[in-house]
Structure 1
């Protein structure tokens, strides 16, 4: 059923959403982030960053801020800023839109740049490890368990997500794996200074889009059974083998250039999608506030704020900022561009997901046919809706458009998995330092432990199919948002100890902790009613851990308010 001209007059143009969303985020970066960077974090261009202090050519590498932005942004983006908003529009487009835009400006940007600043000022330690110095040992121990759970969920689930994308779209295999070869070449060109960064960028993006064009004509599919393993399990093992190697290579060789080129291709993709919106002027067919939500859909409050994490605020961003990005920051002042603008990039992607999932359908009936239950929509709504917008606005072939968007999602999931496994390796190495286990501080044993823990979850809980990561995924949203709130708590304590205004981090963290703890309690009730004792027990562990860290941090915050400011 097509939308008539009379219907269109009653619908809102997607152009309005685009201009309001991007305009608000631009104002946030050019105005609000400048205030936060100069008056609150007081970023110092003369401060010697850990990238210079501990330069080793492997993990600690001073990096051009544009290249580092590409690494940071694509590492934190993954598929989450697409999936979350595309699910959340089931409550209507307005709540999702407001949370993405306001969350990017006042929550995510402050959180991401703050985590980067806090880590840089503490020898590039992860947010969990530096909690020991800022708050105390007990808080550090519990906090690092929460961090480990988040990384375990991300790595195990993204392995499944990428595997399914490659199985469902064999045409994406060549561009997804070919991007690795492109990144290796780009890394050499950048760091051997063979040619300038501008030309490298053009060549890299051209090579990547050439692969996307060639991919559908050279589809690759694994056999249904390989040595007794399904195609899904085989892809998962291949992905973790690659991620293990990537974790051990110097960051400049693969991780940085891969993320940088992926960041550029995202902007090309966004320009195409937003350009199609401007040219085709699609109308939002989904309701502003959905009063006819499907049965079984949870309440908007507090679930909206954990369903959309990446794209508004996400604890995983703090792990990347304090894990890999802080070890590569050339100047402390680059934290504003890398951290805050990285959040803006992700907000722009989440905005595109909202538009694709609400304006990419011919009619309200078509939209309702997809959104029949909570959790529906997701990547399918983004890919199909975005392909329709590109086909109508740009005249692009719908199949090519769908492949482009699928590859975009798969590449982001892959870069997040690369960084996530490296971060897990760092966690094991930090545990080795804390508990004086020297063998764990070495990269290879720590990497093997990280891979083993992910595969144990994938195959131990999921059987021969390797999809065990999906078992604990329902807890990701709440655990991830708790991590974001607790990271803001650590940043707030650092600010108070330095005698600086803390309201700009304190207000977001209070809101986030209240909403997330509320959501955790609702999940407990749901797991109990379903008699899902495993998730119920794990939910209790996360809830108790969060309460313990919150109490420790609150006590530390009270002491900081009473004590005279530190001389830094």
Structure 2
């Protein structure tokens, strides 16, 4: 099949979802109120609570949740064929991710911008909150440790990306000053920022930078990992308007420009989907399509990490409650469009089926490299951009999104330690610096303690990321559902997605449990049991709460 048809069908369906379904959800289910005083105004402090233009906030939310996952997951999942991945990305974006993201922002906004973990204690119970916080911590630990490894690998493999990746930080700092200190209009700032960013991308191939393969016995990848965590620690301490917001916003713009280039190249080139629609001859050792598809593609369809960002940073910057629809649901659409691009690049970005089959020789192959190389092939043939420059463009896109996710992820991990400090009355843990050091320390401990000198320890627990992340999405939908029932609102638009996710996630956890047992991987086997037990207990707690609320509602109707 021609990739043009796949592209237009996917984008058209997601656009219709935003224009129609998100409007229904916002007005009839969440009932977003433009006059509701948001926490950004109520607790404005110029650091974390900052009322923000919805377009800038969309940029922050979208690029924080996007990361490399909506590229990695779809570009791996096409091993089962491009049709299953396409269907899950499109339907998942419309009926799962958009509702989840907008709902998490709304729920947090209505409860003083509390995180989803803290909110669980209020709407479900303290036991559920304690277990939920463990799941949240594991997801953040995985995201931060693994994305640092992914970024470091890309910086080593594509030295032409070093200047644009780090130069983007200085561009963002300048943009923050121009918007909040010089009060220059957003359109002007956007144009200047995009020009500066793409000038750096053009400079990258001309001046590639590589670290020495070994510095004091430490590999170049490990050195990049340490540099990245040092940067992320500093970034997480700065006021959101200074770096986080402008960096996320300008990255959002460059993503759309990059996607426009890739999509335009698809339309001009008209490549065929060389991968099979349904792959019936998967490599030996490839797990079953169901339930693994729904945890392999998390970001790009639905992701629990989005709920952490929604309740961790986004809700603290919401200027109007009605902005939750644009920021949350349209943010999910943006990520879905990136996942769609990854599917096309990883299936139509090869000259022949034999070329594609050589890359996808085992489960877990493909990923970012398939996206970069396949996408560059399409751009080169479609619009004539030199292949090296096209690879740099797509690599920078992937690295910048992974980097902004690290920025936000480390800030959220700091919030977790501060919340634990408040819950258990540990005064020093409630302070910003100690909590940040704990966040960085745990990530480095996993990276180097478990992974050795190369710092790849985060990859050890990555096999559980998909299941843990999707479990978190289901649990976030549970909290939203309980809130809707308490407010007398229809609950089925969140209940049906959460039941689907819980069934698929628990099935995947059980399947992985068997795999880890057979392989003798007792570390992952134990961790799998911890996540599985937490999921079951939280599900029972939420089900009990929902049952009580429905009985109370029924009794009230009978009394009246």
Q: 1:324 aligns with which of 310, 313, 329?
A: 313
Aligned residue number for residue 539 of structure 1: 528
Aligned residue number for residue 120 of structure 2: 131
- Mapped contact 1:496–1:565 kept (Cα < 8 A): no
Aligned residue number for residue 354 of structure 2: 365
The Cα shift of 1:289 comes to 0.6
- Mapped contact 1:497–1:565 kept (Cα < 8 A): no
Aligned residue number for residue 100 of structure 2: 111
Q: Does 1:226 align with 2:223?
A: no
Q: Does 1:279 align with 2:268?
A: yes
Aligned residue number for residue 503 of structure 2: 514
Q: Does 1:44 align with 2:33?
A: yes
Q: Deviations over 1:457-509 (max 9, x none)?
A: 11110111111101111000000000000000010000011111000000000
Q: Does 1:382 align with 2:371?
A: yes
- Mapped contact 1:497–1:566 kept (Cα < 8 A): no
Aligned residue number for residue 311 of structure 1: 300
Q: 1:472 aligns with which of 457, 461, 472?
A: 461
The Cα shift of 1:443 comes to 1.1
Distance 2:423 2:144 in 1: 24
TM normalised by structure 1 equals 0.97
1:125-274 mapped onto 2 (5 Å cutoff)? 125-274=114-263
Distance 2:65 2:134 in 1: 20
Distance 2:23 2:433 in 1: 40
Q: 1:552 aligns with which of 541, 544, 558?
A: 541
- Mapped contact 1:112–1:317 kept (Cα < 8 A): yes
Aligned residue number for residue 448 of structure 2: 459
Distance 2:445 2:349 in 1: 39
- Ranges in structure 1 where 5+ consecutive residues have no aligned partner: 1-11
Distance 1:460 1:434 in 2: 28
The Cα shift of 1:520 comes to 0.1
Q: Does 1:88 align with 2:77?
A: yes
Distance 1:339 1:445 in 2: 31
The Cα shift of 1:290 comes to 0.7
Task: Give the 3-state SS of the residue equivalent to 1:362 in structure 2.
Answer: coil
- Mapped contact 1:498–1:565 kept (Cα < 8 A): no
Distance 1:366 1:236 in 2: 32
- Mapped contact 1:499–1:565 kept (Cα < 8 A): no
Structure 1 segments, 4+ long, off by >6 Å, are none
Distance 2:361 2:553 in 1: 57
Distance 1:227 1:123 in 2: 48
Task: Give the 3-state SS of the residue equivalent to 1:563 in structure 2.
Answer: helix
Aligned residue number for residue 5 of structure 1: none
The Cα shift of 1:513 comes to 0.3
Task: Give the 3-state SS of the residue equivalent to 1:284 in structure 2.
Answer: coil
The Cα shift of 1:440 comes to 1.4
- Mapped contact 1:498–1:566 kept (Cα < 8 A): no
- Ranges in structure 2 where 5+ consecutive residues have no aligned partner: none
Label 1:75 to 1:566 Cα distance change in 2 as closer, same or farther (>3 A). Answer: farther
Q: 1:481 aligns with which of 470, 481, 493?
A: 470
TM normalised by structure 2 equals 0.98
Task: Give the 3-state SS of the residue equivalent to 1:564 in structure 2.
Answer: helix
Q: Cα RMSD between the aligned structures?
A: 1.1
Distance 2:49 2:91 in 1: 34
The Cα shift of 1:442 comes to 1.4
Aligned residue number for residue 87 of structure 2: 98
The Cα shift of 1:434 comes to 1.1
Q: Does 1:343 align with 2:332?
A: yes
Distance 2:361 2:475 in 1: 35
Distance 2:234 2:52 in 1: 21
Q: Does 1:445 align with 2:398?
A: no
The Cα shift of 1:439 comes to 1.6
- Mapped contact 1:499–1:566 kept (Cα < 8 A): no
Task: Give the 3-state SS of the residue equivalent to 1:399 in structure 2.
Answer: helix
The Cα shift of 1:299 comes to 0.4
Aligned residue number for residue 564 of structure 1: 553
Q: 2:396 aligns with which of 407, 417, 421?
A: 407
The Cα shift of 1:254 comes to 0.2
The Cα shift of 1:565 comes to 9.1
Task: Give the 3-state SS of the residue equivalent to 1:520 in structure 2.
Answer: helix
The Cα shift of 1:566 comes to 13
Aligned residue number for residue 77 of structure 1: 66
Q: Does 1:55 align with 2:44?
A: yes
Distance 1:209 1:560 in 2: 54
Distance 2:38 2:425 in 1: 26
Q: Deviations over 1:532-565 (max 9, x none)?
A: 0000000000100111111111101111111239
Task: Give the 3-state SS of the residue equivalent to 2:140 in structure 1.
Answer: helix
Q: Deviations over 1:20-79 (max 9, x none)?
A: 000000000000000000100011101111101111100000000000000000000000
Distance 2:52 2:333 in 1: 20
1:415-434 mapped onto 2 (5 Å cutoff)? 415-434=404-423
Task: Give the 3-state SS of the residue equivalent to 2:276 in structure 1.
Answer: coil
Task: Give the 3-state SS of the residue equivalent to 1:206 in structure 2.
Answer: helix
Distance 2:66 2:554 in 1: 36
Equivalent residue pairs, number: 556
